[in-house]
Structure 1
Amino acid sequence: MIRVSSLSGGYGGRMIVEDVSFTAGKGEFVGILGPNGSGKTTLMKLLTGMLSPSKGEALVAGRPVGGYKPRELAKIMAVLPQHTEQAFTFTVKETVSFGRYPYQKGLFRQMDQHDEDIVREAMEMTGIDRYAQQSVRNLSGGERQRVFLAQALAQQPEVLCLDEPTTFLDLKYQKDLLDTVKRLTRERGLTVISIFHDLNAAGQYCDQLLMMKDGRAFPKQTPDQALKKETIEDIYGITVSAVAQQSSPKPLIAFMPEAQEEREPVNVPFASLINKSGNTVTLHTERPFRMLSTASDGPGFSWSRRLSGSAAAGLICRTFDSVTIAVTAQHTVWVLISGRLSEQGFVRLLTAAAEARMQALSGRQAKGDIVICALQTGEAMDVPHAERAVRRGTAACVKAAEEGGIQR
């Protein structure tokens, strides 16, 4: 539907967008990302014919966008700006009906039944049909944005261009609007080009991402390829973390505050905080700890203040060289550390605990999980030293649990 080749343009002789090329096919949702001043809005104006290119071309349905008459282009392409002011007290239905203007003929340009049906369908698709006779000015910002999305859909476009459509919307309205747009790409084959500031929203909804920096575009990529930590840090000039999701290859991006690490160690008396009540053992701390778990319902890294598990037949809890280890009769192992661990350190201690438990059980399979917890304060732990303590402590606690253990 859209083919952009070596597109360049700007204002007053100043080039803002330079040599951008990409395509967007039928039913494809393409997000444009980049910092302020990277050329996103200028590129959108070049794509929609609001700005003439200095070089290259943007083809829509095989024709240069500048070669269409306004009403011709409006039948193929609709544009939803970041926010639209409504100066007059038109009703919702009247506002949506303006989307049928390119199709109306004659001196008075009145709508026929076909137009009425399309307007009603557009309102139903965007969930605003119940507001049909209300003034647009009486609606909330999120509801109003859906009205203008319905107006754009009433044009029955093949291409929909969005300029930061979720700015100023709360989370529910953001999700509602993006869910509607995404559904239309699947059900109607609508091609969508949208500018985003929210990296995570773009990553979750877009099929492809076009990353921009200083007026130039990186090659179009899928979200899992484009939203790499190194790429984001290069484009935006900030430190971020990329968090993998269990249900999707698309990462979640979080920016990191200026480093103010706690270098003073915080000693938490883990052993005294472990409580057994009935058949359940719990640990609750005031400070959150990072943990790596083998649990099938939540493996991987996470943060928490609480651990819980089954301890029907008792619990062993001992401290070995500042590493606290708790083992239940079901051979669940908690390794509790007040210091700071790297991700590699977490993995090494998890492996050490698993191997020590296996040896203590003479190769028998254990039912319980292994959890490594660290407060991430103070200096980095001496991992080899901690690893030796974990091996020795896990083996001793598992053997004690096998021998009957200590009831707590």
Structure 2
Amino acid sequence: MIEVTNLYGGHMQKPFIKDVSLRVKKGEFFALVGPNGSGKTTLFKLLSGGLQATSGSVRINEHPLKDLDRQQLAQTLAVLTQETTMSFDYSVYEIVELGRYSFQQGLFKRLVQEDRRIIADVMQRTGVWEFRDTPFLSLSGGEKQRVLLAKALAQEPKILLLDEPTNHLDMKHSFDLLGLLKTWQDTRDLTVVAILHDLNIASLYADRIGVMQQGELVANGDVAILEDNALLEDVYGVRATAHAHPAIARTQLVMNPAHLEITSPFAFDIVRDPQAVHVHAEEPMRSLSTAAVGSGIGWTQDFVNISESAGDVQTWMQERQLDRHVSVMRTSQTMDLTVMKESRSPDGVAVRVMATASKKHAKDVSSWRPPSEEKSDAGTINVMVFIDGYLSDNALLKTSLLIAEVKAKACMDAGLVDEDTGTSATGTYSDQLIIASTQSRMESEHVDLHSLIGPLTYEVIAEALLKDEEANI
């Protein structure tokens, strides 16, 4: 365990580190993050004994750091710094061998069989055994980093301090290294304190995170602190948006660089023929889609509603060279029954809604059942909603719920009935939806878009249902 209390310190007795207090539990992975010059490396040196504190205390496993002699410290704590230079060009094996020095006995400090077993084990685990006879200085930066990690692990430390351990490493070796540390943490109760610049890496591997700013520990907690967008903007001076990792319960950050700020116009090229309506946006739009092609949440530039009469969708797309950022709906309707309308809020936010509707074999979803073979020709209600504004993930999901409610209301008001149950129908088996926003006009996040989207979508769906009824008279 590491316990830091009211710590002050720095170079030349100048206390750049100011009143830092923290506890790192035994067997914990603690990540220290912050911008360049925030004091991470200085604090790191104070924790490892490389710098003397001007006041306050550091305790290692309940013992004051200043009371531990060099051998006790080496057998308890290993340090991996960013420095990879050596005064002499030792072989890789000789470098790793230095990690066992504090355990060697006798006047001549020779390795015993157990030392050699440990050295071979850590070299194989870090992937440097094949370099064992290679001069250290001839290695690449990433290879040197892995050798120095092997040296640190050869000490069999209880605490491992790492200053940017993934520096110089490619993606695979970064994950391999951090995965090895997590394995040692889990199987050997290793305590890890690591300075990390990549906040997403910190979120994936750390148990807790401390945020440094101008020599102070301004935040300290579990990885959820990375969800505080205001904190990150204050500390780093950049805008970042926190999102949930799609596979594990961890936060991942998406950076918003200024040169990529979206100012795209609400502009479209629309090609319409009896078989398809193809909407091409001037710039890709953030979209939520349940369409037959391109479903999910992503960025879409081409939006298509295509009739079954057009034949194979993939062939149709290939003929028009549509292979990226495309979302395609299928419908039994011809495109002359398409309804499209646009409206604007008092704040100038534009919304455009397009729909086709076929009420054949409409269903009451509260008593939904799989379609039978003879009803494979069921109709579909396809809706596209384009918004010239910014939608957060929360707003995107709320908008999809709003449109589902509006569609159900339009179906009931049109008198649609489920022929199997005799109850009011709320849609069909195969309804599809696309919501797309430009993500420009950040202020629109605070505009009541639902009061604009709801009535307009209802009007468009109701008119599309009426067109379908008139076409089948």
- In the alignment, the residues of structure 2 paired with residue 190 and residue 94 of structure 1 have an alpha-carbon distance, to the nearest angstrom, of 24
Q: Would the alpha carbon gap of residues 345 and 89 (structure 1) be closer, same or farther in structure 2, given more than 3 Å must change?
A: closer
Check the 8 A contact 1:348/1:387 in 2, yes or no: no
Residues 1:394 and 2:461 aligned together: yes
- CA shift, 1:68, in A, is 1.2
Q: Distance in 1 between matches of 2:339 and 2:100?
A: 75
**Matched position secondary structure for 2:327:** strand
Q: Are residues 45 and 260 of structure 1, via their aligned partners in 2, closer, same or farther at CA, if it must alter by over 3 Å?
A: closer
Question: Which blocks of at least 5 consecutive residues in structure 2 are unaligned?
Answer: 302-324, 344-351, 359-378, 417-423
The 3 A distance-change label for structure 1 pair 347 and 398 is farther
Is 1:325 aligned with 2:354? yes
Q: Does the aligned pair in 2 maintain the 1:273–1:284 contact within 8 Å?
A: no
Give the SS at the match of 1:26: coil
- C-alpha distance in 2 between matches for 1:282 and 1:123: 58
Q: Which amino acid aligns with 1:353?
A: I
CA distance, structure 2, for counterparts of residue 264 and residue 30 of structure 1 = 41
Give the AA of the match of 2:461. T
Give the deviation of 1:229 after TM superposition. Answer: 0.4
Per the alignment, residue 161 of structure 1 pairs with 161
CA change 1:254–1:203 in 2 (3 A) is same
Aligned to 1:313: 332
Percent of aligned pairs with the same amino acid: 33
Higher mean C-alpha deviation, range 79-88 or range 311-320: 311-320
- Is it true that 1:373 corresponds to 2:440 in the alignment? no
Residue type of the alignment partner of 1:188:
R
- Please tell me whether Structure 1 or Structure 2 has the larger radius of gyration of its CA atoms: 2
TM-score under structure 2 length normalisation: 0.75
Are the counterparts in 1 of residues 128 and 146 from structure 2 also a CA contact under 8 Å?
A: yes
1:301, 1:108 → 2: CA distance? 65
CA distance in 1, matches of 2:57, 2:65: 8
Of the structure 1 ranges 183-192 and 285-294, higher mean CA displacement relative to structure 2 is found in: 285-294
State the distance in 2 between where 1:303 and 1:191 align: 42
Distance (Å, rounded) in 2 between the aligned partners of 1:274 and 1:107: 93
Structure 1 contact 164–194 (Cα < 8 Å) conserved: yes
Equivalent residue letter for 1:391? Y
User: Residue 339 of structure 1 corresponds to which residue in structure 2?
Assistant: 388
Deviation of the 1:265 alpha carbon = 3.0
Amino acid at match of 2:341: F
Show CA shifts across 1:139-158 (max 9, x none): 32222211110110000001
Q: Distance in 1 between matches of 2:223 and 2:172?
A: 22
For residue 140 of structure 1, what is the amino acid of its counterpart? S
Deviations along 1:343-364, one digit per CA (max 9) or x if unpaired, are 4764564334212322315444
- 1:287 paired with 2:283, answer yes
Compute the displacement of 1:104 (Å): 0.9
Following superposition, the deviation at residue 333 of structure 1 comes to 3.3
C-alpha spacing 1:14/1:375, structure 2 compared with 1 (3 Å): same
- Tell me which residue corresponds to 1:353: 403
Structure 1 residues 118-127 or 238-247, which shifts more? 238-247
The 3 A distance-change label for structure 1 pair 3 and 372 is same
| Letter aligned with residue 49 of structure 1 | G
**What is the aligned residue count?**
400
Give secondary structure in 2 for the equivalent of 1:78: strand
Report if the CA contact (8 A) 1:96-1:151 is conserved: yes
Instruction: Find the counterpart in structure 1 of residue 372 from structure 2.
Output: none
Contact 1:211 / 1:226 at 8 angstroms: preserved in 2?
A: no
Q: Give the distance between the partners of 1:291 and 1:283, measured in 2 at CA.
A: 14
For the residue of structure 2 that corresponds to 1:220, the secondary structure is strand
Alpha-carbon distance in 2 for matches of 1:225, 1:151? 33
TM-fit CA distance, 1:118? 0.2
Gap change, CA 1:299 and 1:8, over 3 Å in 2: farther
2:295–2:327 CA contact under 8 A, matched in 1: no
Q: Secondary structure at the match of 1:221?
A: strand
TM-score of the two chains, using structure 1 as the length reference: 0.86
Shift in Å, 1:264: 6.9
CA RMSD of superposed structures (Å):
3.3
Deviation at 1:231, TM superposition (A): 1.3
Query: Once the 2 structures are TM-superposed, how far is the Cα of residue 57 of structure 1 from its aligned partner?
Result: 1.1
Q: Which residue of 2 aligns with 1:251?
A: 251
Residue 124 of structure 2 corresponds to residue 95 of structure 1: no
The verdict on how the C-alpha distance between 1:386 and 1:366 changes in structure 2, with shifts beyond 3 A counting, is same
CA distance, structure 2, for counterparts of residue 219 and residue 338 of structure 1? 37
Letter in 2 for 1:290: R
Aligned counterparts of 1:23 and 1:128: Cα–Cα separation in 2: 33
Whether contact under 8 Å (2:76, 2:158) holds in the other structure is yes
CA contact (8 A) 1:26 1:191 kept: yes
Give the CA deviation at 1:91: 2.4
Letter of the aligned partner of 1:313 in structure 2? Answer: S
Aligned partner letter, 1:50: G
Summarize deviations over 1:252-305 as a string: whole Å, max 9, x none: 2233233786667342134549976xxxx987656211113468xx99853233
- Output the CA distance in 2 between the equivalents of 1:91 and 1:337: 63
SS in 1 for 2:268: coil
Q: Report the equivalent of 1:113.
A: 113
* C-alpha separation in 2, matches of 1:239 and 1:401: 47
The one-letter code matched in structure 2 to 1:292 is: L
Matched residue SS, 1:181: helix
Q: Which residue of 2 aligns with 1:75?
A: 75
The one of 285, 290, 304 equivalent to 2:300 is 304
Give the C-alpha shift of residue 328 in structure 1.
Answer: 7.2
Q: Equivalents in 2 of 1:263, 1:25: separation in Å?
A: 47
Paired residue type of 1:304: T
- Report whether the alignment pairs 1:66 with 2:66: yes
One-letter code of the match for 2:230? E
Deviation at 1:327, TM superposition (A): 4.3
Q: Deviations over 1:99-134 (max 9, x none)?
A: 111111223222111001000110121122222222
Q: Which runs of 5+ in 1 are unaligned?
A: none
- CA distance in structure 1 between the aligned counterparts of 2:463 and 2:266, rounded to whole angstroms: 26
- Equivalences for residues 65-214 of structure 1 within 5 A: 65-214=65-214
Instruction: Spell out, residue by residue over 1:200-237, the C-alpha distance to the aligned partner (whole angstroms, 9 max, x if none).
Output: 11111110001122222135211113441011122223
Instruction: Quickly say closer, same or farther: Cα 1:21–1:283, change in 2 above 3 A.
Output: same
